Chain A
Amino acid sequence: MTALRSFVARRLLLGVVQTVAVVLLVFTLTEALPGDAAVALAGDDPDPARIAAIREAMHLDRPAWERLGDWAMGLLHGDLGTSLASGRPVSQYIADGFGPTLLLAALTVAVLVPVGFGLGVLAARHEGRLVDRLISSVTLAVYAVPEFALGVLLVTVFALQLGWLPPTAVGFGTDLLGHPAALMLPVLVLLSRPVCSLARLMRAGMIDALASPYVSQARRYGVTGARIRYAHALPNALAPATQQLARTIDWLLSGVIVVEALYVIPGLGTVLLNAVAERDVPVVQGLAVVFGVLTVALNLGADLVAHRLAPRAGVAA
């Protein structure tokens, strides 16, 4: 399988190039801040002493390529710099926020995969019948509800009116695992749209695969129903769903700002929100790099899986 090996090698190389591009882009965008980052950071009523302090802290008095070199070297050693607001290392911020974010993402994916794939396969099996129409219309309806609206609605019903679940995670700190009740609502909100899109993709893929000549051939030669569905039809339906799943995981790890804000969960989204509010450029830079690398890595993984599932299609690399 030299073809596969060369595909993996090419795709990995591209991943490295993409990561370098992300780092350069983040640095360039920071450079492109109007005037001088220090002036922008000093606030509405700039105090020359503060500007000078910021400038020195950010080494803005040195040429750009030198600063890029330092920053990039630091990144190579895992040093993301230090926060302007608190002086703590940026990696500390990320490590603190990563726990809750990862927990939420893991719980969501653990439910998402069986439910999303299962609903899709179920709907495809009963194509055009009641079960299918029910799943298709409900998933479409739920998909149309924005997460902030659903989040507020769930809080109103389950926390305020029924009083079954805590409305937010305030007071639990980062020890969320000890309070599973507080995680119920955020996970539900995070699940809502991905489950729908995954189920609908799966349904379409399975309907195509189940109607294909190769599935007819397997059926004709006496292969049993469940085996046909999961061993012969499913692999063909998985490829598009895998790509969607990778995008979902990417979003869960780097973009759930609304849900974290709504339920007051101290994850990466909250860290990012605070950093932007405080104009803490090194923290924003560090997060951007982490998010960028995550996106590259997840898409790389998804491409490899898709390549395995649809060996004919060359993935653009």
Chain B
Amino acid sequence: MNHENATASSRAGGTADEPVAEVRDLRVEVDGSTIVDGVSLKAVPGRVTALVGASGSGKTTTGLALLGEYPSGARVTGDVRLAADGLVGYIPQHPAAVLNPARRISALLTDIARAQVGHLPRGRRRSAIRGRVLQALADAQLPAAEVLLRRYPHQLSGGQQQRVVLAQALLLGAPVIVADEPTTGQDRLTKSRVVDQLAAVAARGIAVILLSHDLDVVRALADDVVVMRQGRVVESGPAARLWAAPQHAWTQELLVERPGFTEPETAVGTPGRPVLRIRGLAAHHRDGARGTTTVLRTPELDVAPGECLAVVGRSGSGKTTLARCIAGLHRDHDGEVLLDDVALPRSLRNRSRTQLAAVQYVFQDARAAFDEHRPVLHQVARTAIRLRGTDADAARQEALTTLARLGLPADLSGRSAGRLSGGELQRAALARALLAHPRVLVCDEITSGLDTISRRGILDILTTLLHDRDDLSLILITHDLDTAALAHRIAVLDAGEVVEQGPAQRLLTEPTHPFTASLVVPTARLKAGTSG
């Protein structure tokens, strides 16, 4: 394989750079289709090797091969060689899944340590086990480990869960750790914490295999990069060389910086008559029998026709609640949401068809928003029939053209939802919302689960939409400032309050509120890793 030379040349060091795990010419076939085709990679102590590629490119299959795990019924050829003890740690995308819900977190940690103290006399084993477990938790930067050990997984925060899973790998003493999409769907601050953590792991002399489609994180961490597409390695080599001079067209496309689409056309948004106005909104959540908590206060927020407003904030800041209030999905609020000066009923159920069509919502999880067994085309066309009274044939025709315009040709849109990728489904979800001919389109984190290429595709679609239809207003709910940069205006939410709002350009370059500044800074810090 040609890329092996590239990897070898990067290993200028001495014997310390002997790989502790190596995959050679791996091929994995399931039911006749090839998932991974001729992939080779090396895990070198103290270095981070990133497997980059769109979802479905075979990253996870390759990563799991290091653990000796394959999809059921897979035909595997090629070599996976591990260091003598054959231990590999694994940090999955959702750490909660690998933590046993019925056991305290000490259970598995203790069992891992028990296997290591067999040589000690019986009486000293217990304290030796405890010592090792506490040390591993400390190494994973978990303070107050004594208390934590007695907790159940659901009593830990997401970050703590991830560090417990890391502690398991450290306790195991694995020379290789595979981290599968450790930052997907996380906000900026969490991301930069995960980056620090994985850097610390590599600094301990452990080889880290990072599977990710998050280029910011890969830039900040990776020493070596393997770019995958459709199961094949298209390019690999030291990170610095790859960023500086990508050889393969696909890598270049992956690395292209997105220009914002705000600057030239700021003339949009006729002042004076906003399409959507929010007045004195205060949304509540019920806390069991105890009473209610106010999770969102928005005294005033306007959206002009043709305007794109980004609502930015960390997870839990109330941005989704705001979107749900606008869409009529969250009834428990005071104040008013006015569409063209008419207050919208609080509940979806009380809104007329015209009102329903006027405000459309696209959800983060496109897969959950479709019936997986019916053709996507039918589900998209249904909006026009249901909300605009179009007849079935016309609706089908319109759905076909809209889907094709958004990049889903007829052969794809005729498939059932279960057979489309996440990015394709998100396009279909947008098409479905557009078939209602909405005045306001609410997009709730619609790109955060997607890989770079799919995300870019979706953002391109949104740009085009704003450009072509000046009567359509967009509300982008996002934690990602890069996505927010595409908007005309940004409103920043923190703990349920709008702390700052204004033109996107100004907010991103000269934030006035300290919280906005704190959101902008980690972005810059992650970017700083790029040059290296």
Contacts and interface: CB of A to CB of B under 8 A. Distances in A.
Closest 10 CB pairs of A and B: A217-B98, A235-B102, A213-B97, A214-B100, A312-B154, A236-B102, A311-B152, A223-B111, A213-B98, A214-B98
A239 to B, nearest CB: 8
B98 A310 contact: no
Contact of A231 (B88, B107, B112, B165): B107
A309 B98 contact: no
Interface residues of A, number: 22
Interface string A276-317: 000000000000000000000000000000000111100000
B98 A223 contact: no
A274 B425 CA distance: 69
Contact of B99 (A214, A220, A231, A310): A214
Contacts of A227: 111
B108 A221 contact: yes
A232 interface: yes
B168 A213 contact: no
Interface string A227-242: 1000110011011000
A297 B165 CA distance: 39
A156 interface: no
Interface in B115-151: 115
A117 to B, nearest CB: 16
A34 interface: no
B92 interface: yes
A310 B100 CA distance: 10
Contacts, number: 65
Contacts of B90: 217, 220
A78 interface: no
Contacts of A312: 101, 152, 154
Contact of A236 (B87, B97, B101, B172): B101
A231 B114 CA distance: 14
Interface in A211-266: 212-218, 220-223, 227, 231-232, 235-236, 238-239
Interface of B: 67, 69, 87-88, 90, 92, 97-103, 107-108, 111-112, 115, 152, 154, 165, 168, 172
Contacts of B152: 311-312
Contact of B154 (A231, A239, A311): A311
A303 B104 CA distance: 19
A238 B100 CA distance: 14
A287 B108 CA distance: 48
Nearest to A237: B102
A248 B69 CA distance: 41
11 contacts: A212-B97, A213-B92, A214-B99, A220-B88, A221-B112, A221-B168, A221-B172, A222-B87, A231-B111, A232-B107, A236-B101
A218 B97 contact: no
B101 A222 contact: no
B26 to A, nearest CB: 19
Given A220-B67, A221-B112, A310 B168 contact: no
| Of listed A215, A232, A239, A311, residue having the most chain B CB within 10 A | A311
Nearest to A214: B100
Contact of B102 (A216, A220, A309): A309
Contact of B100 (A220, A221, A236, A239): A236
Contacts of B107: 231-232
Contacts of A212: 97
A220 B107 CA distance: 15
A6 to B, nearest CB: 12
Nearest to B115: A222
Given A214-B97, A217-B168, A223 B103 contact: no
A238 B88 CA distance: 31
B66 to A, nearest CB: 11
Nearest to B86: A222
B112 A223 contact: yes
Given A232-B107, A236-B100, A239-B102, 18 more contacts: A213-B97, A214-B100, A214-B101, A217-B90, A218-B100, A220-B69, A220-B90, A221-B111, A221-B172, A222-B115, A223-B112, A227-B111, A231-B107, A232-B103, A235-B100, A236-B101, A238-B102, A312-B154
A231 B98 CA distance: 15
Contact of B108 (A218, A239, A309): A218
A2 to B, nearest CB: 12
A223 to B, nearest CB: 5
A147 to B, nearest CB: 33
B286 to A, nearest CB: 15
Contacts of B172: 221-222
B133 to A, nearest CB: 13
A216 B172 CA distance: 15
Contacts of A239: 102
Contact of A218 (B88, B111, B165): B111
Contacts of B100: 214-215, 218, 232, 235-236
A311 B152 CA distance: 8
B98 A216 contact: yes
Contacts of A231: 103, 107, 111
A162 B115 CA distance: 54
A221 B101 CA distance: 18
B101 A310 contact: yes
Contacts of B102: 235-236, 238-239, 309-311
Nearest to A235: B102
Given A214-B97, A216-B98, A311-B152, A235 B115 contact: no
Nearest to B150: A1
A152 to B, nearest CB: 42
Nearest to A234: B102
Nearest to A308: B102
A236 B152 CA distance: 13
Contacts of B97: 212-214
Nearest to B168: A221
Contacts of B103: 231-232, 235
B99 to A, nearest CB: 6
Interface string A182-220: 000000000000000000000000000000111111101
A311 B111 contact: no
Contacts of B108: 214, 217-218, 221, 223, 232
Contacts of A309: 102
Nearest to A313: B101
A223 B165 CA distance: 15
B103 to A, nearest CB: 6
